[in-house]
Structure 1
């Protein structure tokens, strides 16, 4: 995630699956504009992203320093622009926690992506990232998640979970987990799956009187809800899900 004096290319790992051509609509200053946030020891920071613009590019780049025993929570609905990208770099202090939940949605020839780097710099920190992608047409959903564990950052507990749901042939979902671990007493897990709607579940629901449209909507809603399960605000959970389902629209 290093800053660059040139436009990114797909040769860089963090831009491998991105729409780098769309970036040409931005100047380099905008591309290299990182916003910084510091979370004081023991405090909690929460932020929501909703990408729904129709511009060529909507780009958010954020660096967060999380103090000892502090907590950072980020939740995102990425459903806008030709290229919608949220890039986050988080450095965790002792006993700190990072929670990230996000969904990418889109069709046509759009690209929506999350790129994260979680640096476990001190012992006993935890992190959890849950990403869901729903795409159709020739839409692409990407998640590139890197976890770095320093040599003395023992008792680290880090997890990433990515699932992609493709509603039509031609759509794609890419997950690239990266782990660089120098400590030996850690728990680091990642999982990635991509598939289509569960036809057995749809048949089960239809047998109980639900229409195909209702079944489809319920299954997609449940799939997306996983990304926001860690959010302890039911009203905000509902708002995020409504934003996501609105983006899927007539595909349901």
Structure 2
């Protein structure tokens, strides 16, 4: 892609994007990447809340050295189209942990796009994404995992779940695996649905008001994305940031 060419729906990694919003961005923004190098044996972690009133692209390239570990946890709560894109290359014995939540109402599209290259043996990765949307909003997760021929003993997992609080909302999931090694563990799962009425009934039967029960259920749903984050303070900060967006939507 050159600076003068916008992506189109024919580009698989952009197929669910808001192209009206993309047209408002400066062409050079599509070539802007943030590069992160994780040294062999080192640990890098970032916890972030992204999104504003204007369309935004947040693009990262992470290279993890042998035995290194990279962790990225994010809340995507943009009021307009907001895309978080992460390209990761894992060396031998490296690990990548990703936990993300897209959340919000209105008409906005919010998405995570990840591309993981398991380039060497014994690397592991885990991705957990939750989407909570209402109004006519959309939450997307496009996750691709490439396992090279020599990357034996790879262990990679993706888990996506979408919760739609109103009928007009939607989510899209596109898990993709391309595996050339033969001694690997690769798994992905995707589920989309509405609030669990039976769980709400169970809580109401024990005296919990319906509004409080719904908020507790959404809180537990969102918290799954941050279960891999060992810093309890950051875990709580991200969770509260997501719940603040939720407001009175439930």
Quickly name the TM-score band, shorter chain normalised: over 0.9
Residue in 2 that maps onto 1:148? 146
Which stretch has the larger CA shift, 75-84 or 146-155?
75-84
Asked if the contact 1:109/1:137 (under 8 Å) is kept, the reply is: yes
Alpha-carbon distance in 1 for matches of 2:34, 2:191: 32
Asked if the contact 2:3/2:28 (under 8 Å) is kept, the reply is: no
TM-score (norm 1): 0.97
Displacement of 1:191 in angstroms is 0.1
Mapping of residues 28-67 of structure 1, within 5 Å = 28-55=27-54, 57-67=55-65
Displacement of 1:52 in angstroms is 3.3
Alpha-carbon distance in 2 for matches of 1:132, 1:4: 32
Which stretch has the larger CA shift, 148-157 or 73-82?
73-82
Deviation beyond 2 Å, 4+ runs, structure 1:
2-5
Residue aligned with 1:225, SS: helix
Alpha-carbon distance in 1 for matches of 2:52, 2:65: 33
Residue in 1 that maps onto 2:110? 112
Alpha-carbon distance in 1 for matches of 2:75, 2:35: 21
How many residues were matched structurally? 250
Asked if the contact 1:58/1:81 (under 8 Å) is kept, the reply is: no
Displacement of 1:3 in angstroms is 6.3
Residue in 2 that maps onto 1:91? 89
Q: Structure 1 14/45 Cα, relative in aligned 2: closer, same or farther at 3 Å? A: same
Are residues 1:180 and 2:182 paired?
Answer: no
The answer for unaligned runs of 5 or more in structure 2 is none
Asked if the contact 1:39/1:72 (under 8 Å) is kept, the reply is: yes
The answer for unaligned runs of 5 or more in structure 1 is none
Residue in 2 that maps onto 1:214? 212
Alpha-carbon distance in 2 for matches of 1:9, 1:108: 24
TM-score (norm 2): 0.98
Displacement of 1:171 in angstroms is 0.5
Displacement of 1:59 in angstroms is 1.1
Displacement of 1:39 in angstroms is 0.3
Residue aligned with 1:53, SS: coil
Displacement of 1:4 in angstroms is 6.0
- Within the candidate set 203, 206, 212, 1:205 is matched to 203
Q: Structure 1 211/3 Cα, relative in aligned 2: closer, same or farther at 3 Å? A: farther
RMSD (Å), alpha carbons: 1.0
Residue in 2 that maps onto 1:193? 191
- Within the candidate set 52, 60, 66, 1:68 is matched to 66
Residue aligned with 2:130, SS: strand
